[in-house]
């Protein structure tokens, strides 16, 4: 499955568990803090993706990085997966 699709599916799953109401459309420019997912929800998204993809790019990074948009978020996972292979 394409990475972006996997992230979107994880996002939907986590939003349901965390009882968060997401904005109708999420595109690459959507600011994460305005997407409807709260900070605990993001922690859950990272946890869900760690189970699905086997990586946690934020722990692997030497410095703290906080993606601003959904596009930034996908890009971080894409880079981490590229480094893994």
Partner 1 sequence: MNKLVIVTGASRGLGLAICQQLLQAGYTVVALARTQTEALIQLQQAGLHFVAADLSELDKLPMLCSALIKQFGRPYALINNAAVGYDGVLATMHNSEINGLLNLNIQAPILLSKYLLRPMLLNQCGRIVNISSIIARTGFNGLSVYAASKAALEGFSKSLAREVGKAGITVNCVAPGYMQTDMTNSLQGNKLDSIKRRSPLGRLATPDDAAAAVLYLLSEQALAVTGTTLTVDAGSTA
DSSP state of 63: S
Min dist CB 27 to partner 1, Å, is: 26
Say how far residue 3 (Cα) sits from the centre of its chain: 10
46 binds partner 1 (CB under 8 A): yes
- Give which of 79, 72, 71 is closest to 28, Cα–Cα: 71
CB 4 within 8 A of CB 74: yes
Choose the stretch contacting partner 1; rule: CB under 8 A; options: 14-22, 23-31, 65-73, 76-84: 14-22
59 binds partner 1 (CB under 8 A): yes
- In this chain, which of 20, 50, 53, 72 binds partner 1, going by CB under 8 A? 50
**For binding to partner 1 (CB under 8 A), which residues are involved?**
14, 17-18, 40, 43-44, 46-48, 50-51, 56, 59
């Amino acid at each position: 499955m394409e990475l972006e699709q996997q992230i979107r599916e994880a996002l939907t799953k986590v939003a349901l568990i965390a009882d968060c109401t997401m904005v109708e459309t999420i595109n690459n420019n959507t600011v994460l803090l305005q997407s409807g997912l709260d900070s605990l929800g993001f922690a859950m998204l990272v946890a869900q993706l760690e189970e699905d993809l086997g990586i946690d790019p934020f722990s692997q990074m030497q410095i703290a990085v906080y993606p601003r948009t959904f596009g930034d978020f996908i890009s971080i996972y894409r880079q981490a997966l590229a480094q893994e292979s």
